[in-house]
Structure 1
């Protein structure tokens, strides 16, 4: 029964993975150079899952399993991360040599396969040599994946060419791959010392789950981050994303701190930081959290979070009203306005305007 469930899970996830792979390279909305490599990586991982789980005696499948597609996965994933962070390594001449381990393995296995079928070479320790070669390549492929994935993680952490939202997503994806590698290591240890396959089965489940994970985070969530970045770049180029909050209420204030607070919001747009806290604002203004809350409450009759969200909602309203941004999702607009999550955006917007962002957008389109 458990084997049947696992079979079904792997087959279903493989089908989903194939669908995602095809969609990434054929759908114009998602098609990009980075997604081409993500599609290839996912297809290779599906192939490895299939070959490892079913352990077929078919000669073609045995050959595919022997050429170590693992080497190729390491490079395609590494390339995907490099493209996402727009790293200069892609232009280096040595970069192509990263494919050398895979092609070396392919050549070696081609010779061994020809020898097995046509007995080209005749030496007494042939079987032992085949096992030794496979053992060496298997360990090298594991080490190669570890090296490239952790190298990619280091480059993502230190790059300054992407937004923080995109960096967090890429690091999350990279961590998932690291978890798969750890499962891979545990399965190898278990197989050699405990002679059981619980960790191996867990590895197949992890690889199967990767398809679903990429469907949600790699296709849907990352696309929202990309949209948010596009919106931000457009606003920076046009410099039109100034809210009207200061014009509406700054005239009624007398405190120097409050006027400095408006200046920070209008000039530096601090409200767009989803992690902005009361302590951050107090530190920038050179005062305490308690005094800042007190003076905002006294002069504006709002809490700190209400004051910040007022700016965010005004920014979101401007974006939802502008037809230029109609092609972007509401969640991406909420992120650009500074909200940490979709639920926080919807709750604040509903509280302020007594309607959802979607309803507000539809109303603007009709007017």
Structure 2
């Protein structure tokens, strides 16, 4: 949470600095007017650090922030050196041009580093799911994938602004940054909302799961005699290990865990359960949800947390499947308990 807050803070400080300079609040104060803290160096590294901490893979990941922070402070020192070198220049117009040209080179360098870190963060999320199965059991990470899509739009706006800045020879370019400033302002609010929502839900699901560890779901599924023994093994394994609460569980995964071939597993399930694998798992999930919704001990948990902790991938899927099985929405079912 700290690193996500630092991500939001760095974006906010960059926007605030741009507004202060645009309003010329530091006019005629050379040291302040010409030193711009390069907060843009820190956006992607802070988010990357949040990601590896959230996924709980810090010990298996690169510590990128250790490499970026020295560059950040070096960039500040170079700007201070620039001020000291040109402090005696009387031609303000020439000074402005030189400074804008220098900061543009710095910004392009920062853009390349930032998009590189951003891309690597996406690679970690997309290609290394085997490293963070624990968090995946609580969060499907859709909101983080959505952030990468939204973030890509930001980099496109940033790149466009830089191109216009260079094309206009570093003068009269300020308008090109307006879309980016609006975008980052909206991004700050979106990140703040999503972080509060997701961390609250994560905390709630962990609490709910801790309570559920001592509970069991009773089942009355009819078992055909032909595959009774094999199905009983599968059925008991799913219940005792609460496999139905894992939203990403598949027939292939279960077959491998039980040491069965995929074809044998499917044959047993189809013959004994008399329903598809998805229907069978959803039936167990609905039973789990019904139990939680009708038990007063779980009233403090939101319906969304109950649905996700019962094994559904999303709130919308939970509502659809639950209503199909019960004829009521989860909210209606809880209200009429």
Is TM (by shorter chain) over 0.5? yes
Change (3 A) 1:50 1:227: same
For the 8 Å contact 1:63–1:109, the answer to whether it is kept is: no
State the shift of 1:188 in Å. 1.6
What is the aligned residue count?
319
Deviates more, 1:90-99 or 1:325-334: 90-99
Alignment partner for residue 162 of structure 2, among 188, 200, 203?
Answer: 188
1:329 equivalent in structure 2 = 302
Query: Residue 65 and residue 212 in structure 1: after superposition, are their counterparts in 2 closer, same or farther (change >3 A)?
Result: farther
Structure 2 residue aligned with 1:71: 41
Question: Which whole-Å CA distance do the structure 1 matches of 2:331 and 2:43 have between them?
Answer: 41
Cα distance in 2, alignment partners of residues 70 and 341 from structure 1: 34
**Residue ranges of structure 1 left out of the alignment (5+ in a row):** 1-33
* Residue of structure 1 aligned with 2:52, choices 70, 77, 82: 82
Larger deviation, residues 310-319 vs 159-168: 159-168
Partner of 2:118: 149
Shift of 1:79: 2.7
CA contact (8 A) 2:286 2:310 kept: yes
Q: Structure 2 vs 1, CA of residues 120 and 279 (structure 1 numbering), >3 Å: closer, same or farther?
A: same
TM-score of the superposed pair, with normalisation by structure 2: 0.72
Question: Hey, which of these two has a bigger chunk of helix by percent?
Answer: 1
User: 1:271 aligns to what SS in structure 2?
Assistant: helix
Conserved 8 A contact 1:166-1:222? no
Q: 5 Å matches for 1:195-214?
A: 200-214=177-191
Cross-structure match for 1:309: 282
Alignment of 1:1-367 (within 5 A): 34=1, 36-52=2-18, 55-59=22-26, 63=33, 66-88=36-58, 96=66, 98-113=68-83, 119=87, 130-157=99-126, 158=128, 160-161=131-132, 162-164=134-136, 165=139, 167-193=141-167, 200-232=177-209, 234=210, 239-245=213-219, 248-250=220-222, 252-256=223-227, 258-275=231-248, 286-287=262-263, 295=271, 300=274, 304-321=277-294, 325-361=298-334
Please say which of residues 284-293 and 329-338 is displaced more in the overlay: 284-293
Q: Is the 8 A contact 1:184 1:200 kept in 2?
A: yes
In structure 2, distance between residues paired with 1:127 and 1:168: 45
Q: 1:258 to 1:179 in 2, by over 3 A?
A: same
* TM-score relative to the length of structure 1: 0.67
1:306-341 Cα offsets, whole Å, 9 max, x none, are: 432220012223333555644432112201111122
Between stretches 256-265 and 178-187, larger displacement belongs to 256-265
1:68·1:102 contact (CA, 8 Å) conserved in 2? yes
8 Å contact kept, 1:227–1:328: yes
